[in-house]
Amino acid sequence: MDKIIIEGGKRLEGSLPISGAKNAALTLVPCALLTEEPVTLRNLPRLADIDGFQHLMNQFGVSTTIAGSRPEDFGRVMTLQTPRLTNTTAPYELVRKMRASILVLGPLLGRAGEATVSLPGGCAIGNRPIDLHLKALEAFGATIEMTSGYVRAHAPDGGLPGGDFSFPVVSVGATENALMAAVLANGTSRLDNAAREPEIVDLCNLLVAMGAEIEGIGESLITVHGVKRLHGATYRVMPDRIEAGSYACAAAITGGDVTLTGANMKDMSATNHALRNAGVHVEEVKGGIRVYRDGPLKAVNLSTAPFPGFPTDMQAQMMALLAMAEGTSVLTETIFENRYMHVPELNRMGAHIETQGRTAIVHGATMLNGAEVMATDLRASMSLVIAGLCAEGETVVHRLYHLDRGYERLEEKLSLVGANIERVGGD
């Protein structure tokens, strides 16, 4: 198994390209199930999760072609077309490693009137039930049953009638599934307390480009007027705000000066606010965002929250950064109950972090030392890389399959700005 070796202490400087957003792309790909016509996605990141989703789409009769792809390029252009659905079952062997697989449920139900989807897998960061996905679909008229580890959903004869659903708590995935089911429903559907993440906006924008009628994009109340059919479209995936935030932390922890080309300032407001409070300069420049640090890092207190709050997907990376800050920082994780598995690994590198339930207390200004560490989930993996970039000596990060799920050719990008980092084959 591959591993990454980092020689710490190198100041990062230069320009680093930001890829298309993983979390958006995994929502946009299943939109191809909603139409017979081609859907072309540009700026699609080269990631293991995207490859896995492509194989899952092939299971339903979707043809996928990649245009103009060169090994040295970041990103791809993929065209997906579903002239007819040949299957409506997503089997366990294809979905067990990827939680986003549940996002085929809504579009299959909307177009075919039925779907059978294995319960998904993904990162082991806590309990992430799909009950809100199912309750929303039931509110639209679907019949749901659970059997042998599968969700079986059926629409009435003639398709989903549509309906109203109010989310008791904000759920990004459930909002996405509900939107894709509602666009082909016979009537009007309303989603109250819907997620407002930029990735939700990206999904709505693609659906509208395909002919959907959606009101309230970017707001907590979304109204969808069902249409008879959708057509194809060509769409560019939004830049990855979590990747950009991760590399911003990498630049900051090394006292560097990095321009994140392609990053979108407005999608990162909470992350940028946290970085600035920690003593990092973040400014919009032509074509991206410049991140640099010319003074000490400062302690901050953060609590994760749905958008526009501080994203849970940035909690681990900020924790690594704050391990080098002056003073004591307090991080509270409100989204997932088991997202501090990176703490023991950071402590192995010399950090002083305590956890009390959903709260982590980071005693900063410690000297980090290189060590062999084990990645436990996607964002935890990146926190270890960030720590390794400023640590004294050599850091070896194992279990790279987590990183490969969410960061496109990470070691190549970090090398562009001066990091001493390489991927080597494992034993």
| CATH code where residue 413 lies | 3.65.10.10
Domain termination residue (choose one: 183, 206, 236):
236
Smallest CA-to-CA distance from 365 within 280, 291, 269, 297 is with 297
Q: How confident is the model at residue 213 (pLDDT cuts 50, 70, 90)?
A: very high
pLDDT at 149: 85
How many helices (H) and strands (E) the chain has is answered by: 14, 24
Domain termination residue (choose one: 191, 210, 236):
236
Backbone angles phi, psi at 181, to 5 degrees: -75, -35
Q: Are residues 101 and 11 part of one domain? A: no
State how far the Cα of 283 lies from the Cα of 272, in Å rounded to an integer.
9
Tell me what percent of the residues of the chain surpass a pLDDT of 90: 83
Evaluate if residue 123 carries a pLDDT over 50.
no
Q: Are residues 380 and 259 part of one domain? A: yes
Does the annotation place 22 within a ligand binding site?
yes
Do residues 13 and 254 lie in contact, with contact meaning Cβ atoms separated by under 8 Å? no
Computed on alpha carbons and rounded to an integer, the radius of gyration of the chain in Å comes to: 21
State how far the Cα of 319 lies from the Cα of 2, in Å rounded to an integer.
25
**In b/e form, how buried is each residue of 264-275, taking b as 16+ CB within 10 angstroms?**
bbebbebbbebb
Backbone angles phi, psi at 5, to 5 degrees: -115, 125
pLDDT at 126: 41
Q: Are residues 153 and 245 part of one domain? A: no
Q: Are residues 206 and 294 part of one domain? A: no
With 0-12 / 13-18 / 19 or more C-beta atoms within 10 angstroms meaning exposed / middle / buried, residue 153 is buried
Does the annotation place 128 within a ligand binding site?
yes
Q: What is the mean pLDDT of the chain?
A: 93
Determine the longest span between alpha carbons in the chain, in angstroms.
65
Q: What is the DSSP letter of 396?
A: E
E strand or H helix that includes residue 245: helix 241-253
Q: Are residues 176 and 243 part of one domain? A: no
Q: Are residues 103 and 163 part of one domain? A: yes
Q: Are residues 84 and 229 part of one domain? A: yes
Domain termination residue (choose one: 170, 203, 236):
236
pLDDT in tens, 226-249: 999 999 999 999 999 999 999 999
Number of domains the chain is built from: 2
Q: Are residues 158 and 249 part of one domain? A: no
Q: Are residues 208 and 67 part of one domain? A: yes
The catalytic site residues sit at 123
Q: Are residues 336 and 213 part of one domain? A: no
Does the annotation place 130 within a ligand binding site?
yes
pLDDT at 68: 62
Q: Are residues 13 and 29 part of one domain? A: no
Q: Are residues 308 and 276 part of one domain? A: yes
Does the annotation place 129 within a ligand binding site?
yes
pLDDT at 71: 62
Name the residue range of residue 316's domain.
3-18+239-424
369-376 mean pLDDT: 93
pLDDT at 427: 58
